[in-house]
Structure 1
Amino acid sequence: MYDDHTFLAAEHPDAVVELEALESSLSPIAAPPVAPANHGFQLPRRLWLSMFACYAIFFGFIAIATGGSGAARFAIVVSALYTLVYFGVARIGARQAGPEVPSPLERGRALMTWTGPMEPRAVYAQILIVPAVIAFFAIGIAILGPFAA
């Protein structure tokens, strides 16, 4: 509270003792608890690889569908690099907390979420649905592209 107790000591010597007792009771006794482990994403490696494979299929088939257009190829390369940066920065950020706890999905157990346990099939379906649909979209565009002209 007060950095300099000299003005109190001159008028009220007992006030300094009481003030020091009050200051010591207000200070924290211990530091807040630290989490024992980094739970992280808790997703198995094969799930990440499946997601990356879907995006690779997407970029590959879109490149095939656009033919030899230089502007389209440039846009695809920029988009692929943006995707790499997006996932790369997330990976760097996730690694700042240290090694993750092994995923319960690797042992066939449910993944605990904020809303309760989630079975492995539900986790895979929710995470891979968008990348898989994007990959199928690109395959469809590559197959139907020659018929559109």
Structure 2
Amino acid sequence: MFEQQTIIAERDADFDVELHAMDNAFQPLTAANAAPDNAGFELPRAVWTSMFACYAVFFGAIAMATGGSGAARFAIVISVLYTIIYFGVARIASLQAGPEARSPLEQGGMLDTWTGLMDKRAVYGQVLIVPIAVALFGISILIITISLGIGG
């Protein structure tokens, strides 16, 4: 019988603490909320420039390799437009969050990823491996067509 009274008294005390905390939680704000810092992609501008350059090399090499074929040029133009849309929509979406914070790689630090910290060399390697491979593929196609006398 005494144990039940102790439990009830403890519940009443907890309820009073929670009620007081709720009263304090609904106080009007005295200052405007500041926009949170947008970490964004945290990639240096040089990474983006290198990536775009790789795709430009690819499309240029393929355009030269196909010669004067109108159908091939039409397909290349469509592919370039898709690439612009792909990166353009991502850029527009990233701008919605406000200005991005400066990359830690540009400040001499390391990039914090889901799998741990990465230095500048690792970030460049992982991000640029596919664009570099695509550019080399385009150059290879150009070299093959020139050596066979097909395009160029």
Range into which the TM-score falls when normalised by the shorter chain: 0.7 to 0.9
Partner SS state of residue 122, structure 2: helix
Q: Deviations over 1:14-58 (max 9, x none)?
A: xxxxxxxxxxx989x369x98731110001111101000000000
Counterpart Cα distance in 1 of 2:139 and 2:126? 21
Query: Residue 111 of structure 1 aligns with which residue?
Result: 111
Offset, 1:107: 1.8
Q: What is the CA–CA distance in structure 1 between the aligned matches of 2:146 and 2:140, rounded to whole Å?
A: 11
Pairing 1:1-149 to 2, within 5 Å after superposition: 29=25, 36-148=36-148
| Residues in 2 aligned to 1:36 and 1:92: alpha-carbon distance in whole angstroms | 18
CA distance in 2, matches of 1:53, 1:146: 22
**Structure 2 gaps, min length 5:** 1-20
Q: How many residues align?
A: 127
**Whole-Å Cα distance in 2 between the matches of residues 126 and 35 of structure 1?**
31
Supply the distance in 2 between the matched residues of 1:26 and 1:82 (Cα, whole angstroms). 52
- Residue 121 of structure 1 deviates from its aligned partner by 0.4
What TM-score do the two structures reach when normalised by structure 1?
Answer: 0.76
Cα RMSD of the aligned pairs, angstroms, is 2.7
TM-score in terms of structure 2 length: 0.75
Give the percent of matched residue pairs that are identical in Structure 1 and Structure 2: 61
Q: Report the CA distance between 1:108 and its aligned residue.
A: 2.3
SS at match of 1:38: coil
Q: State the Cα distance separating 1:146 from its structure 2 match.
A: 3.1
CA positional deviation for 1:91: 0.2
Deviations 1:59-113 (A, max 9, x none): 0000000111000000000000100000000000000000111001112211001
Q: Please give the alpha-carbon distance, in whole angstroms, between the structure 1 residues aligned to 2:137 and 2:113.
A: 30
